[in-house]
Chains A and B, each alone.
Chain A
Amino acid sequence: MALLEVKDLQVYYGVIQALKGISFEVNEGEIVTLIGANGAGKTTTMQSIIGLIPTRGGSVIFDGHDITKTPCHKIVHLGMAQVPEGRRIFQELTVYENLLMGGFSQKDKSAVKEDIEKIYTRFPRLGERRNQIAGTLSGGEQQMLAMGRAMMSHPKLLLLDEPSMGLSPLLVDHVFEIIKDFRDDGTTVLLVEQNAGKSLAISDRAYVLELGEIVLSGTGAELAASDQVKKAYLGG
C-alpha cells in the first residue's frame, strides 16, 4: 500500500508553473528518490508535500489522509518529517535544544529525553557537542543534527532534501549509510538528490524530474542503467 500518493500536483510561483502536474507514490519501507537538475522542481515538490508552500491543483494522500490543504505542523503530527534543503537547524540553540525541538510533536517528556540519548548513541559527535551552539558546528555535524532532529518525531515518512549537499566525499558516504539505516529501522524515505549515482544505488525506486514534470521512473537499478539518466546525471 502506498504511504504517500502524489497525484497531478501543481505548484505555481506567481504566474510561473513550477510543478506541472506530477504524480508518484512512495510505498511503505521504500527509499524513493527524485533526481533532477537545479530548477527541476525537486525542493518545490518536497515543500509542497509537507505543506510549506501552497499547491494549486492535484492532491497529496499520506497514510490514508488527504493532506493537500493541511497546514505543515499538522502534517508533522501525522508522522511526516523533513530535513530541509540547507539543513536549517536552529543556529542560536544548542545541539540538545535543537533535538528537543525535533521532539516538539511528542507528548511524553521523558520519552523525548530517551530519544535524544538514542540520537547521541547513533551520532556520537552530537553527544560530545550537546551543549554547543548549533551554529558553530561543522557542515557535516549540522547535517547529522538536522537528520537526528527530524528522526526525533518518529516519522513514518522522512523527506530528505539534498542531504549530501556541501559535504566531503567521506561524509557523503556516511550520510547515505545513515539513510539506509533509517530505512532498515522501518522509516520510509523520500529522497531528493543531485548525487544521482549514490542515491540510485540505495533506492528501491526513483523518478526523474525535469522542468516540473516526471519524465522517467523505474527501480534504482533500472534508472542507473538507463542511457538517458547516464547521459544527463551520471556524467557518462
Chain B
Amino acid sequence: MEFIETLLNGLSIGSTYAVIALGYTMVYGIAKMLNFAHGDVIMVGGYMIYLTMAGIGNPILGLAVAVLFCVVLGISIEKVAYKPLRGASPLAVLITAIGVSYLLQSTAQIIFGSAPKMVIVADLGNLTIGSLTVPYYMLITLGCSVVIMLTLSLFVKYTKTGRAMIAVSEDKGAAQLMGINVNAIITITFAIGSGLAAFAGFFMLMKSPSLSNTLGAMPGIKAFTAAVIGGIGSIPGAMVGGILMGIVEALSLTVPAIAPYTDAIEFLVLIVILLVRPSGILGKVRREKV
C-alpha cells in the first residue's frame, strides 16, 4: 500500500512537472529558444491565486484569474522581450530570458514582500480505501494533468492551428510558404505555455501552501530537466520526462538514506539519460538540411 501511495505521489509531482515542461518544450520547438522565465510565470500565477483567494475566496475563480493573467503575461513577455530579438544570437535571447526571470521575481518581491504567504487553496482531506490513504489534491492534480495532456495532444494533432504549430517547429520557412503566420503561432504557443504554468502554480499550492517569489524557480529547472530528458521540442517527451522525474523524486524521498540528495539524484537521471540518448528519450535526431 505504501508503494502505491508513493507511486501516486510520484505521478502527481510528475504530472505537475510535465505540465510545466510542456511550456518549455513547445516554446523551444516553435520559437527555438529556452524561456527561462517560464518557471517564474508559475509564481505569478500563484500570486494571482493568492490575491483572488484573499478577495473572493474561491479557488476555481483563483485558477481562472491566474490562467488569464499568465496568458496575457506570457504574450506580453514574448512581444516586449523576445520578439525584438528574433534572428539575434541564441545567447542574446537566453540572457534576456534570464533577465525576465529576475525581473518577475524582483517585481513580485517588491509588491508582495519577501516573507512567504500562506495560501490554503482548499482543505480537501484524504481518500481512504482500506489501508490506502491518498490526499485528494493528488488525485485532482493527476486528473487535471491527464485532461490537459490529452487536450493538448488532440489539439496539436487535429486542429488547423495545432498542425501549424508542428509545421512551424519543423521548418519555419516552409510553414510560411503554406501561408502560416509564424509570429501568430509563436504568440499562441506562449499563451498556451503560460496558461499551463498557472495550472502548475495551482497544483503546487494545493500540495504546499507556502508562496514566495521563488516558487517557480526549482520546479522550473526540474521541469526544464524533464523536458530535456524526454527530448526537448517533443510534446510526448515532456510528458514522459515529467512523470519520470516525479516518480524518481517520490521514490527517492521514501528512502531515508538518500532522501536529502533527492534533487541531486534527479539531475543525475538527466546526466545518465543524456549519456545514453543525447537527444532525450523521445527526442529526434534531426538531419541537417543540405
CB proximity of A104 to chain B, nearest CB, Å? 4
- Distance A142 CA – B170 CA, assembled complex (angstroms): 16
Q: Are A76 and B163 within 8 A (Cβ)?
A: no
Residues of A near B181 (CB, < 8 A) are: 71, 73
Q: Does A167 contact B (CB under 8 A)?
A: no
Question: Which of A83-91, A114-122, A207-215, A228-236 is found at the contact surface with chain B?
Answer: A83-91
Nearest CB in chain A to that of B175: its residue: A101
Q: Are A105 and B178 within 8 A (Cβ)?
A: yes
CB proximity of B139 to chain A, nearest CB, Å? 35
Point out the residue from A76, A86, A91, A97 that lies within 8 Å of B177, measured CB to CB: A76
Is the interface on chain B under 10, 10 to 19, 20 to 34, or 35 or more residues? 20 to 34
Residues of A near B284 (CB, < 8 A) are: 92
Residues of B near A81 (CB, < 8 A) are: 177
Q: Are B178 and A92 within 8 A (Cβ)?
A: no
Residues of B near A72 (CB, < 8 A) are: 176-177
**Cβ-Cβ contact count across A and B, 8 Å cutoff:** 66
**CB 8 Å contact bits of B154-183 with A (1 = contact, 0 = none):** 000000100110110011011111111110
**CB 8 Å contact bits of B193-230 with A (1 = contact, 0 = none):** 00000000000000000000000000000000000000
Q: Are A90 and B160 within 8 A (Cβ)?
A: no
Q: Is the interface of A mostly helix, strand, loop or mixed?
A: loop
Point out the residue from B171, B182, B289 that lies within 8 Å of A90, measured CB to CB: B171
The size of the chain A interface, using a CB distance under 8 A, is: 27
Residues of B near A89 (CB, < 8 A) are: 174
Nearest CB in chain A to that of B182: its residue: A73
- Distance A92 CA – B284 CA, assembled complex (angstroms): 10
Point out the residue from B171, B179, B289, B290 that lies within 8 Å of A104, measured CB to CB: B179
Q: A76-B177, A77-B179, A153-B179 are in contact. Are A104 and B166 (CB under 8 A)?
A: no
Listed in ascending order, the chain B residues whose CB lies under 8 Å from chain A are 160, 163-164, 166-167, 170-171, 173-182, 284, 289-290
Complex A-B, nearest 9 residue pairs according to Cβ-Cβ distance, in ascending order: A105-B179, A76-B179, A72-B176, A88-B174, A104-B178, A73-B181, A101-B178, A104-B179, A73-B179
